Amino acid sequence: MIEFLQQLINGISLGAIYALIALGYTMVYGVLRFINFAHSDVFMLGAFVGYYAVKKLGVPVGGLAGGLLVLCLAMSICAIVGILIERLAYRPLRSRPTLSVLITAIGVSLLLQNLGQSVFGANPKAFPRLFPETNLHLGQLSITSNQLLVIAVSLVLLAGLHFIVHRTKTGTAMRALSFNATASSLVGINNDRIISFTFGLGSALAGAGGILYAMNYPSIDPLMGTMPGLKAFVAAVLGGVGSLPGAALGGLLIGLIETFVAGTGWSTYRDAVAFAILILILLLRPAGLLGKSRSDKV
């Protein structure tokens, strides 16, 4: 029983990170109807911004303020990078078939990975400790303050996103754009501005995800985004790509499934199970678990 509860905690904290990345995938998909494969590399960039902020700029860490500063810095730099990627790589292809944009996204992803290897170096680096860390023990169960932080930040960002999408003017515009881009520009919405905003927001989430991931698994390298990015993609599809609660649910499920598969001695099949789920979902329920109702889409 203790073991089961401990695995549940492990699974939820892993799932929270996948959920955070999946939110970014799903938001961009909701508005533009294409998967931004460079998302997982913006995630990597977030972790490296954190690393260099501490190592080169000397942001003091170990306290709450320093850690939050690094988190905000990573989010804002990633937002800028996301907006730049959209403007330089995707906007010129806006009128082309989605396929061209998709292939460009793969190109941008490879560009960022290889640029990362030549600029940051291909060696794994040890990520500094940003926040004060403690292990909390409840009887035989244990959870680290980092795991709690990840879950908390994911919940806050999910609520914030929900608020932005459903309660603000920009959010209304995002939803209008996702229904019909021509009609939304006819009623006076600046589509370019809204798309830039969506990319900025999605990339900021990726940046936050990168920092949180690196805090839990403090060894970072330029290819670190690939695996979590793929898992988050599976999570987004599982939950129903385009649906915000779906992405969160999908992330959580993937995290839990992986943890329980690995914990029962089948650890080598962990990734295989995650991708088998993707295939099953695409065959049986292409819209995903929560992706059915259109009005839920961003």
Partner 1 sequence: MNRSPFHPSTFGSLFAAVCLSLAGCKPADTGGTSKDAGSGTGSGANPGKIRVGEYASLTGSEAAFGQSSHKGTQLAFEEINKSGGVLGRQIEHLVEDTQSKQGESATISKKFISRDKIVALLGEVASGRSLEAAPTCQAAGIPMISPSSTNPKVTEMGDYIFRVCFTDPFQGRLLSEFARKTLKAQRVAILSDTASAYSVGLAKFFKDPFMAGGGQIVLEQKYSSKDKDFKAQLTAIKAVNPDAICVPGYYTEAGLIVAQARQLGILVPIFGGDGWEAPQLIEIAGGKALENTYYSTHYSSENSDPLVQAFVAAFKARFNGETPDAMAALGYDSAKVLIDAIKRAGSTEGPKLRDAIAATKDFPCITGRTTLDASRNASKAAVILTVKDNKFKYVETVSP
Contact positions toward partner 1, by CB under 8 A?
2-3, 6-7, 10-11, 14, 98-99, 102-103, 106, 117, 121-124, 126, 129, 135, 137, 140, 142, 144, 213, 216-219, 221, 224, 227, 258-265, 267-268, 271
Q: Cβ closer to partner 1: 185 or 226?
A: 226
Q: Cβ closer to partner 1: 122 or 183?
A: 122
Output the DSSP codes for the chain: -HHHHHHHHHHHHHHHHHHHHHHHHHHHHHHHSS--TTHHHHHHHHHHHHHHHHHTS----SSHHHHHHHHHHHHHHHHHHHHHHIIIIIGGGTTS-HHHHHHHHHHHHHHHHHHHHHHT-SS-EEPPP-S---EEEETTEEEEHHHHHHHHHHHHHHHHHHHHHHHSHHHHHHHHHHH-HHHHHHTT--HHHHHHHHHHHHHHHHHHHHHHHHHHS-EE-TTTTHHHHHHHHHHHHHH-TT-HHHHHHHHHHHHHHHHHHIIIIIGGGHHHHHHHHHHHHHHH-TT-SS---GGG--
Q: Cβ closer to partner 1: 18 or 199?
A: 18
Q: How far is the CB of 70 from partner 1 (least distance, A)?
A: 18
Q: Cβ closer to partner 1: 50 or 171?
A: 50
Q: Cβ closer to partner 1: 76 or 117?
A: 117
Q: How far is the CB of 85 from partner 1 (least distance, A)?
A: 20
Q: How far is the CB of 192 from partner 1 (least distance, A)?
A: 25
Q: Cβ closer to partner 1: 65 or 110?
A: 110
What whole-number distance in Å separates Cα of residue 265 and Cα of residue 137?
Answer: 25
What whole-number distance in Å separates Cα of residue 249 and Cα of residue 238?
Answer: 8
Q: Cβ closer to partner 1: 79 or 149?
A: 149
